[in-house]
Amino acid sequence: MTYHLRRAQVAAFNNFSDAMSETQITPGQFGVLTLIASNKDMSQSAVARALGVERSTMVAVIDGLENRGLVVRKPSLTDRRSNALELSEEGHRVFDRGLDLAKAGDRKTASALSDEEAIQLVTLLRKLNSAAGL
């Protein structure tokens, strides 16, 4: 099973990367943008926890997105020791475009599946993630 999951992951990432090439956003960066877009004033630490990555790794990712003008750090209203994250205007534009492009990549990845099979696959993947505590 692990072999097939890994091969499917490689295909999905390649399809995603091809679809997103105009934005120069990686799958990991898109996950970060998605969390920030969906969670007002989320902290860097909270993003790292949600994605299961080290805080030091997240600092580098946020630095890169901030340097590209996609993410803005601002003082947290609830914790003076941390920053709240939000998408910049350009970040919203890139994220919105990325949603459309990511859907195109998903369609290519799932092209061998019927609509029902695609839904079943996502359901099973969520079940595996829950069992793994993700």
Q: DSSP strand E in 5-70: where? A: 42-43
Q: 49-84: per-residue pLDDT in tens? A: 888 889 888 899 999 999 999 999 998 777 777 788
Contact 87, 70 (CB under 8 A): yes
Q: 17-53: per-residue pLDDT in tens? A: 999 999 999 989 999 999 999 998 888 888 998 888 8
Tokens of 127: 């079940």
Record the pTM: 0.83
- Asked if pLDDT for residue 101 goes beyond 90, the answer is yes
Coarse DSSP helix, strand, coil percentages of the chain, rounded to the nearest 5 percent: 65, 10, 25
- Asked if pLDDT for residue 115 goes beyond 70, the answer is yes
Structural domains for the chain: 2-131 (1.10.10.10)
- Dist CA 126 CA 36 (whole Å): 21
What is the predicted pLDDT for the residue at 1?
86
Structure confidence at residue 93 as a pLDDT band (50, 70, 90): very high
User: Mean pLDDT across the stretch 109-117?
Assistant: 94
Cα–Cα distance list, 71 to 4, 44, 92 (Å): 35, 11, 9
